[in-house]
Amino acid sequence: MKVIGVEIGGTKLQATLADAETLEAISSLREQIDPAKGAEGIRRQLGAMIHSLTAQGEADAMGIGFGGPVDAKTGITTKSHQVEGWDQFPLAHWCREEFGLPTIVRNDCDTAALAEASLGAGQDYQSSFYVTVGSGIGGGYVVDGNLIGTTRPAFAEIGHLRPGVGYREAGETVESQASGFGIAQQLKHWLKTLDEGENDEEYRSIVERCDGNLDLLTTRHIVELAQGGSGMCQMVLADAVDTLGWAIAQVITLMAPEVVIVGGGVSMMPEELFLLPLKQHVAAFVFPPLSNRYEIVPAALGESVVVKGALLLAKQSLTK
């Protein structure tokens, strides 16, 4: 038997045909997405990729990790924050009609959580919480190899915690402060509040790094500047990691996972700027009886994590 795993992201589309027992890849395809062509354009790409894969071997089931919220019961996508046209789209039904394959759909973070728990950094633990820190922040919780909360409209959304009672607006979240996008926005906001001449030299060094256009400022720029001694960049990163550490401590206090796995592009910055202070902040905020009863580790599966999780979803669907 064979299964297909798919990642539908905001920038890339990946699909793999694999042996259903071993999950060893038979063939893999990867394409960039053109957001301007919308969801319909992605579906055309996906159709061509799936037909190309099934020409190499008939598949028995398909799993999809979708880059946005999903109704897991129905396989209907709620929306995508990157690409227009996914609002309330019956993706699982469309795949069954288009490819004749039973299809299970989960959001990409849940799918990645399943992969890391089963095949990656969490495979030696009974319970694991996965946090992805990239342009946004998401979470997924796995116990005994099963995703938790799939019957609910949303679950484990660590990025949408409000970091304190003073944050009243829906957009005032952990994600707005500690994601890659949030970190860049925090520094841009700070720079715009400076009086003329205040921190002039440091301001110029930041603007020069993004070619004179603050709209092009990224977290990568901020990390490089922080490593070069920029106090403003160091402070913004420190605040972001502090906020994320607080959020992870709340998760540990409420759900007591044995391990927290941290992935995503932001987590790849040097450990002295991210992982080491993150562990310190979690320890400062966590419920004392759980101190030293959890681990925080980097993710292990890299860019293939969502596809591997999607293959697992498909494999699990064959045994139910």
The confidence score (pLDDT) of residue 47 equals 97
156 part of a folded domain: yes
Model confidence pLDDT, tens digit, residues 101-118: 999 999 999 999 999 999
Entry pTM: 0.90
One domain for residues 147 and 43: no
Q: Is the pLDDT of residue 198 over 80?
A: no
The confidence score (pLDDT) of residue 90 equals 98
The confidence score (pLDDT) of residue 194 equals 76
Model confidence pLDDT, tens digit, residues 210-219: 888 888 999 9
Kindly state the average pLDDT of the residues 199-205.
81
266 part of a folded domain: yes
d(CA 3, CA 54): 10
d(CA 141, CA 20): 24
Kindly state the average pLDDT of the residues 220-247.
96
One domain for residues 291 and 314: no
One domain for residues 45 and 169: no
Percent of the chain residues past pLDDT 90, beyond the cut: 82
The confidence score (pLDDT) of residue 252 equals 98
One domain for residues 138 and 281: yes
Model confidence pLDDT, tens digit, residues 143-186: 999 999 988 888 999 999 999 899 999 889 999 999 999 999 99
115 part of a folded domain: no
The domain tally of the chain equals 2
Q: Is the pLDDT of residue 307 over 90?
A: yes
270 part of a folded domain: yes
The confidence score (pLDDT) of residue 199 equals 61
Kindly state the average pLDDT of the residues 17-44.
95
One domain for residues 240 and 215: yes
Average pLDDT, the chain: 94
What CATH number does residue 250 fall under?
A: 3.30.420.40
113 part of a folded domain: no
Kindly state the average pLDDT of the residues 235-257.
98
One domain for residues 79 and 147: no
The confidence score (pLDDT) of residue 196 equals 55
The confidence score (pLDDT) of residue 297 equals 98
Give me the amino acid identity at 72. Answer: A
Model confidence pLDDT, tens digit, residues 115-155: 999 999 999 999 999 999 988 899 999 999 999 998 888 89
| Cα→Cα distances 203→21, 208, 234, Å | 56, 9, 14
First to last CA, the chain: 15
Model confidence pLDDT, tens digit, residues 249-258: 999 999 999 9
Sheet of 295-298, strand order: 146-147, 137-143, 127-133, 259-263, 295-298
One domain for residues 31 and 138: no
Q: Are 301 and 120 in contact (CB under 8 A)?
A: yes
One domain for residues 45 and 177: no
The confidence score (pLDDT) of residue 320 equals 74
One domain for residues 81 and 209: no
104 part of a folded domain: yes
The confidence score (pLDDT) of residue 212 equals 84
One domain for residues 218 and 286: yes
Q: Is the pLDDT of residue 193 over 90?
A: no
The confidence score (pLDDT) of residue 200 equals 78
Q: What is the CA radius of gyration of the chain?
A: 21
One domain for residues 69 and 165: no
264 part of a folded domain: yes
Kindly state the average pLDDT of the residues 302-316.
95
One domain for residues 307 and 289: no
116 part of a folded domain: no
Residue 97 domain boundaries: 2-108+303-318
